[in-house]
Copies of this chain bind each other. A is one copy, B any other.
Amino acid sequence: MLPDPMTPIRFGRLLLTGAAGNLGRELRPRLRRYCDTLRLSHRRDFGPAEPGEEIVLAHLENKAAMLALLEGVDAVVHMGGVSTEQPWQPILESNIVGAYNLYEAARHHRVWRIVFASSNHVTGFYRQDQVISPRDPARPDGLYGLSKAFGEDLAQLYFDRFGIETVSLRIGSSYAEPKDRRMLATWLSFDDLERLVVAALTAPVVGHSVIYGISDNATTWWDNTPARHVGYRPQDSSDTFRAAVEARQPRIDLDDPAARYQGGAFVRTGPFEDQA
């Protein structure tokens, strides 16, 4: 958690979806400071609410449940849905139908700001020696990345047509620390994740903005210049962990596509059906 909150701007009721997921669990205690009530949602039960929280379980693909979930909400941090490469059916339900249900509910209830957990896998098929920006065309590396590209286009539509503002966070690798050499480029610390989410929630004008979620790493493939209006300034860096990570993984096999493309192992694993 940040020792010194970047902004005191508070929301009345803030919704965090995917509250029991990896990042949801990190954000849950952090976001409580930015709202009167933190509504938490997940697919499955994850225990009781803490003070200042309320819990509403919902399946993303359930339209009525989503409509109920967004009632009375001021803004949404949408971390819910499938967050790894999985078969088409769950991705379709949670990330495509689910995203549509979320935006329809936001439109119905006039929720004007959504922070959408997109993913670097939207552009995972660029090479690791390319530096791209949020304006470069999507090159998803699997069904998961494809579904996140869909979510971003959906967010653009709901802004252009209905004025609902979204910041799509193309999150890199958000873990306690970088686990391998790819993450030296893609790592997002939990504190920087909080900074990013809060900046995305409170920036005065965002339309639909796309920003990569990374800490201040020396190595990067992503140029966030077009998103500087969001006001995100990372304060952590994978550089601290570089020596240890390189020692653990001194060699990289460039014949492996996972080593050449930004998406890493996502470019070669996955649920395509007649693959073993």
Contacts and interface: CB of A to CB of B under 8 A. Distances in A.
Contacts of A142: 157, 161
Interface string A224-265: 011111111100000100110011001010100001100000
A10 B250 contact: yes
A153 interface: yes
Interface string A191-214: 000000001001111110100000
A137 B135 CA distance: 6
Interface in A42-81: none
A233 B218 contact: yes
Given A6-B242, A141-B161, A272-B104, A230 B223 contact: no
A129 B92 contact: no
A88 B101 CA distance: 10
A187 interface: no
Contact of A219 (B125, B140, B229, B252): B229
Nearest to A231: B219
29 contacts: A6-B243, A7-B243, A8-B243, A92-B96, A112-B254, A125-B156, A127-B205, A128-B204, A129-B206, A131-B226, A135-B137, A138-B156, A139-B160, A140-B153, A140-B156, A141-B157, A143-B157, A145-B157, A150-B153, A160-B267, A185-B231, A204-B252, A205-B254, A205-B260, A218-B233, A219-B228, A220-B229, A221-B228, A223-B225
State the 6 A-B residue pairs at the shortest beta-carbon distance, nearest first.
Answer: A219-B231, A128-B205, A218-B233, A125-B160, A129-B207, A149-B153
